[in-house]
Chains A and B, each alone.
Chain A
């Protein structure tokens, strides 16, 4: 089961905006609007930030937004804050595996 492709790392300064990409195929990201994004701080469990491509769960800052174009989904964080420094993982429904979910390899966000 191949992972979705994310950049290993991204960085930005406080107040700036950054975008993390998540590239899959037509069997996962491109074929369905079931992309989620999770934030994970060191030693902590992942936290749902975006679901169904662009929806935010209650309590998640509106500085976090999601979108999709073709086989690539994106997470944008605007107005970067120090507490945004974490690992970010995308996931998607997939029709090409016996398991319905595939994760990205993760992206380390550094706030400079």
Chain B
């Protein structure tokens, strides 16, 4: 138990569906991250929020839309996804961004796009 929870753990969706992934951290951290993890590839950073403000968007397609209502919660809204978006989506948090701080990860959402 890392103090970071994610729901759902598994999600299957069609290309025309709209769904949302949820992340919650109970560690009192100020920075939250979305990563994409594909088999045999490095973790790909998607978005970073620091004190609820988005500070990084690594050229992520607009079909992925993040939302951070407060420092404890992070969402990833999905719409009109492609089969190549199938992957494990990991949420992480750290004390702050701009420091060599340890990131703590949630268990991830395994997403399959049909």
- Is this pair of chains taken from one and the same complex? no
